[in-house]
Structure 1
Amino acid sequence: MTGNQPPSDSSKHLTERLDIDFALEAAGLGVWEIDPATNQVIWDARCQALVGLERDDYLPFEEAIQYIHPADSERVLMAIQWAMMVESGGRFDQTYRTIGADGGRVRWVRFWGQGYFKPTGEVYRFAGVAQDVTVQVQASQQVEESEARFRALVEEAPVATCLFVGRELRIDVANSLMIGFWGKDPSVIGQPLAVAVPELVGQPFLSVLDDVFTTGEPYEARGARAELVVNGVLGTYYFDFTYKPLRNAQGDVFAIMDMAVDVTEQVLARQQLEESELFSRSLFDKSPAAKSVHVGQEMRIRAANAQMLTLWGKEASVVGRPLLEALPELRTTPHLERLRHVLNTGDRFYEAEEKIELIRFGEPYTGYYEYTYEALHDAAGDIYGVMCVCTEVTHQVQARQKVEESEAALQSAIDLAELGTFSVEIATNRTTLSPRMAHWFGLPAVTEVAAMLAVIEESDQEPFQMGFTNDLRTEAVGAYEGDYAIINPLNGRKRILHTTSRTVWNPEGQPLRIDGTAQDVTAQRELQLALKEQVKQRTQQLADANLVLEISQQRLVSIFEQAPVAIALLEGPDYRIKLANASMQAIWQLPEGQELVLNQPVFEAFPNIAGLGLEALLAQVRQTGVAISGNELPVVFLRNGTPETVYINFVYAPISHADGNVDVVVAATEVTEQVVARRKVEESEERYRRLSEQLAVSNNEYAALNEELEEANELLVRSNENLQKFAYIASHDLQEPLRKIQQFGNLLKMRYVGTDNDGLDYLERMQAAAGRMSQLIKDLLDFSRISTQRDTSAAVSLDEIVSRALSTLELTIQETGAQLHIAPLPVISGDALQLGQLFQNLLSNALKFHRPNVVPLVTVRASLVPVAALPAPVKPNRLTANYHRIDVIDNGIGFDEKYLDRIFQVFQRLHSKSEFAGTGIGLAICEKVVVNHGGGITASSEPGQGATFSIYLPVQ
């Protein structure tokens, strides 16, 4: 049955059989069914709408799965395969994304259903319902993002902040300042406050918090006394703090936010002042502090020293006058009431850094003041007046505000650049990590250097240590810069960090600490590797003439021209420019048509790049046949008539011809904006180091840097979008014309049935060629996906993997009468999908390449080998003491071992297509899977004597 012929059942019969169409529509559910006999998908209009289709009730399964988002397709296909196996019980329930035919719209959908099996275990029906859950998924994602932003805000707050949840006051989140006030470590997170800080029991704080939880009213205190154990010693501290209740959607208090400032020094200073004797009149007048004495309810000025008169900006004539008459600008302020309160109660009043607007010497003036109102007693102990002691702190406040603004701008720049920071104290050998850096390393914010070093990948530890050693030997800023890989011990995630550091020296020339920044460049480095792989694949595709089909040439040329990576082809020993796509023109900034550079030697067309060492790199590529890459190469191009220095990431890859000539493919990406942005961030860090000496530094440079970083981020986003479009074209658009060829070919074959016309033979040849092309594209996509590093930490039983592969090959085994001997296999850490592809390819080859008239005999066995016993060609990228060796042995046609290096390369075949079908990609996929799992693969064989493929995987 073809894709145009409906199965025996129809969607109308389907809904009649279920007899719940109205209820399904009310619930927003669609009905679907997969017919295992015809491999057809039958679905109603609601299901079709989930992938942007209209009136397409029947669809081949292979076409229907094209609408699954690439990031989810493997997971969904595995779930479908599992649900159609009797041991699964037939249950299927998956939530995933679809890419609609209506303009590529992305939707979140949930498909769930049941497989039905015959007594023999064969599935005869697979059906269920589906629903659009985009709104629910997006809402859940928004809640998670909101909570993450809240926690980040608390953790990076400049004041001590924490959140208590529930009546038990469980510590839900607390930043390092608050934990430091308590004298604890981050392990208190999640504990009730009374358990985490037991010394608070009996003090008023727990009772006040309980009242706030009960009444829902906020509470604020200044200079509150607290007894805390810090560094193992019980001490007395004073805090200004605020308890603010948080309410849920129903209006009930569910948590309390605590924000505190340590004012111990100020309180102690005030207490010392209270304990001292009142100054005498002479000391009052000669005091360097501004002082005044006020009496009566009008707060008449009895005395004011010269400092106070200067601070007010008044003449001595104000002495003897009521306060508001002498300083009428204070009428709208609470100062008169505060003075009267001290006069009436004797309570002392203190304020730090209050903003006050005065008229000083006839001119408006705004300043910041620290002042105290103290009751004065006569000999009988009665209060007769109030003394004011005041200090202007305007300059200090403004300087601190500028520093805070500069620090905020610098922190913003660091956040926008997604940088992590660290500081190593030489004396203690301890490292302080920023929150982002601590998250990357999976370590506490303060940790030992040895713990930080242990997270670095073993191969990078020695260069990292040598770099820091050299940093301590020279007084150069930024003495160490380099890349290194880390593996987070908490989640096993691997990152590549680019680090720049400098040493801070004391006046005696001794190193105090090492300050540095780090940037996560994993994506860039993976992109460079992917680019190398794309260039390699592109080169091999061009070398294989069997892939050149007229119907796909225009599509491939379009992909070349629209690729987000700049690509050019250099021919011959003088490196003449043969081809250059639009992205390369954008780097060169040439007019359309490329008449200025085509067929010209590249160093004649661009003399400014001569002498940079590129000539030697190109010669090395032509001589060795090995690709070479480079990062951030400075090159001078003539742009708009003006020389301009740009920075390029490039790859030079060879293309070898049958006549022995070698051309070079150049793939490049301009990273000028990223380099400039990074350097400006480094310059900003240096300016921050000098802020303590230059308090009046301007913030304009930080604002400009923010704009440039935003532009660089936008460029990176656009680059990622282009790469996604490029992958979509490769995975979907190339298949579309082939499907049309096959469908129209089927129609023409039906028309020519029963005729002797040569056209039928031509159609069959065309169909065969289109089928090979379709299979090649699928294999290339498999190879591309396999090339992507996946999570290989799950436990996988190789017995189950081989069993599934043999089940898939069951028909081939029956047709060939093959005999199989499968020994017990180990359980390893890996990715089940990739390992399934590995063993299915190896077993398929063992069955396919059998000798005529000889029953295939395939043996799979396993053993342990130490690392010292690994064969010379096997160089695993993950070193361990022992390795699992799994041999796949057959008695087939074999091969000459001189071709051993070729068989694992893409498109390399030792036999013609007429002898054995295939695309030459299967063994390349096998090698990629093994490399992704940290192992190696090799083979041994003789013509006519069968072959043995040996896989080496690390023992965890």
Structure 2
Amino acid sequence: MENIYEDLPTYAFLQGGGEMGELIRTYDWSSCPLQTPDQWPSSLKTIIPLILHAKVPMFVWWGNELIQFYNDAYRDLLVAGGRHPHFLGKSAYQCWPESWGIIKPLIDQVLEGEGVYMENLLIPHYRYGTLLDSYWTFGYSPIYDEENHPVGVLVNCTETTQTVVSQQQLEISEAFSQQIFHSSPVAKCVFMGENMVIQMVNDSMLTLLGRDRSIIGKTFMEVVPELTVTPLMGRLRQVLATGETYIQPEEKQELIRFGQPYTGYYHYTCSVLKNEIGEHTGVIVAVIEITDQVRIRQQVEEREAQYRDLSEHLEQVVKFRTEELEASNEELVSSNEELQDLNKQLQLANDRLQQFAYVASHDLQEPLRKIQTFSSLLSQKYEQQFDESGLMMLSRMYKAGEQMSTLINDLLAYSRLISPSDEFNTISLQQIIASVLETLELTIEQSGAIISIEPLPTVRGDAMQLGQLFQNLISNALKFTKKDQMPRISIAAELVLEKDFPKSLKPTAKAECYHLIRVKDEGVGFDSKYASRIFGVFERLHTKQEFAGTGIGLAICQRVVENHGGAIYAESEVNKGATFHVYLPA
């Protein structure tokens, strides 16, 4: 392959130096105040190879423009900020505008001939477009020309952000541990060495011992000589030697508290403390006084003898209560049987109601069809014999028949939903919505509606009922739109845990989580005080002249959702659209 750099000039002092050596050799320096490398000052020609071959991060700012050069080790720090290789040949201000207020005074100091060294200095800078805090340890040294004048800055640097942040976190953790130790209601004390010198003690322990903070730095036996005769000191040394935790659930101790003899009972734990290399250095003791509990237990034990004489009587009482309970259980069984009978009667009533609704609707449809047919025939055959008023009456009669037919069909659909379906299958709501949109295709085209649908889940349910649910919701969103406004409808879903279910809603079936499907429009909306009323049968918030309909659609929606074990509610404001929230068990 042809070498694209073969015609470029070579400069002996720039040979090698890794990637940055290559970039400096191929960089177009002709447009830079420095001009081409063969015209560079000798001091710059000397310092550039030095930084290129260094294994630590180094860079140079040269001349009045503070032109930037850097080596491969410093390049790795720039890559993390997305700034390599753009910083080569640019001025320091162009490279570091976000931290210029910090580094510019240091640069000025160096160009006066005075070197600078900083440890863990906070210098914020951008990384991938975000301004972040970073910490650096660095040295700025002046670079002199042949006349011994400072003409540039040589920088050695190391990023110490991780070290500083870790130290800060450690200090916070230690302060937090100290706070927990001193504020703990459990009495705690730290002993160091074989002689158990008290290094740290909290207020709870001082109260328990009846001492003040002057005990810090003294041995345990100096502070509580009354415990010399107890095995406590031996136990502390055993824990220090073996590293095994000692737990005493209950022990009686005779103390001198605030100058007065005191007998108490204590639960305590002794645990070893280790240094960073794992050596045993001390023991921490946590003590809980249980004097009150022990004395109560002793009182209970004394009184138990008194209660033994009552045991026979209690047995008789228990026997009597047991017999009563058995009788109550028999009554409960009988009540359960009655409840089952009532459920059967309710099911039978529902079946009969459905049968009645079907027969009633069929019997009503027949004369209704005749009314529509004859009114249509009258208007067609005898049109010339009716004046305008008569024809209007025939038209209103026909339309009233259509409305009555729609109402009967809606009532029949609602009556069929009284009992939940027994044929639940895995249903794709994405397919249900697609089928509904196909059914409503003409209405959608005529209205110019824009409908956005996010990915929808699959649920267990009845496809026909779920189709009724979403057809009613989408039809309402299309219908209840301001005049001359293009409907906008969005349908989205998310998973909701049972614990996050709205407290005001009561699903008809318990589930660990629910699918929440939102159907949102930008239509006329309604006053939020009617949010529960709209789901009632025949409930309408607008006149038939404003918006057609029977007032049964949302009642059907609620019945379908309840049949599927879920819940539904609506949110809206007048002229700001409405959102229907449908919860279905996942």
Normalised-by-shorter TM-score class: 0.3 to 0.5
Of Structure 1 and Structure 2, which has the larger fraction of its residues in helix?
2
Where relative contact order (Cα < 8 A, 6+ residues apart) is larger, the structure is 2
Please tell me whether Structure 1 or Structure 2 has the larger radius of gyration of its CA atoms. 2
Of Structure 1 and Structure 2, which has the larger fraction of its residues in strand?
1
